[in-house]
């Protein structure tokens, strides 16, 4: 999974992000290019256009959802089956899709935005008994970034 979330796990409001972090967009592009990106319908509809060099898999209950340029799936299981030949597909949101995806993911690339925001979509709590923080890289505010943020990489703990 890949996400950016505020201190209280805020993802966004009104189907949009509540911050602008150019370096995070760049990292998202670098990590996801060439891979399947799995998302919910509302997340897909928030894009101005298809993201280049990525295969879009959209999860929706709508059996007649238009599918030009995308692959439609009706469950996380179906979406992951479609992406099975990609060794690193990414679940990219939104809130409900992340909640379901937590059971399937092995790694979370989380940009923790250091601030609190008004939001209507949230990233799920990462249960530290089953997930471990394996990397962390802090970035302070600057002329292009109004908020400090930390790139966090979480891996699912293996149960002996």
User: Which has the closest alpha carbon to 101: 73, 120, 129?
Assistant: 73
3-state secondary structure of 8: coil
- Please report the pLDDT score of residue 158 as a whole number: 82
Label the pairing between strands 10-12 and 121-122: antiparallel
pTM equals: 0.94
- Please report the pLDDT score of residue 160 as a whole number: 59
- Domains in the chain (CATH in brackets) are 2-156 (3.40.430.10)
Reported as type and span, the H/E element at residue 5 is strand 2-6
- Please report the pLDDT score of residue 156 as a whole number: 96
Do 89 and 37 touch, CB atoms closer than 8 A?
A: yes
Do 121 and 11 touch, CB atoms closer than 8 A?
A: yes
Q: Tokens 């060794």 sit at which residue?
A: 87
Q: What is the pLDDT along the chain (160 residues), one digit of tens a residue?
A: 999 999 999 999 998 889 999 999 999 999 999 999 999 999 999 999 999 999 999 999 998 998 889 999 999 999 999 999 999 999 999 999 999 999 999 999 999 999 999 999 999 999 999 999 999 999 999 999 999 999 999 999 986 5
């Amino acid at each position: 999974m890949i996400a950016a979330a505020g201190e209280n796990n805020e993802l966004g409001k009104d189907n949009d992000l509540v911050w602008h972090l150019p370096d995070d967009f760049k990292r998202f592009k670098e990590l996801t290019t060439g891979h399947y990106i799995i998302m919910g319908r509302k997340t897909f509809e928030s894009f101005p256009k298809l993201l280049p060099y990525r295969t879009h898999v959209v999860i929706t209950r709508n059996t007649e959802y238009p599918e030009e340029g995308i692959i439609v799936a009706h469950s996380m299981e179906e979406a992951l089956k479609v992406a099975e030949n990609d060794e690193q597909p990414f679940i990219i949101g939104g809130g409900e899709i992340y909640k379901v995806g937590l059971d399937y993911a092995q790694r979370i690339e989380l940009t923790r935005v250091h601030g609190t925001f008004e939001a209507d979509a949230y990233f799920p709590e990462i249960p530290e008994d089953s997930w471990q923080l394996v990397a962390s890289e802090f970035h302070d505010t600057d002329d292009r970034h109004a908020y400090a943020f930390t790139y966090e990489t979480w891996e699912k703990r293996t149960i002996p």
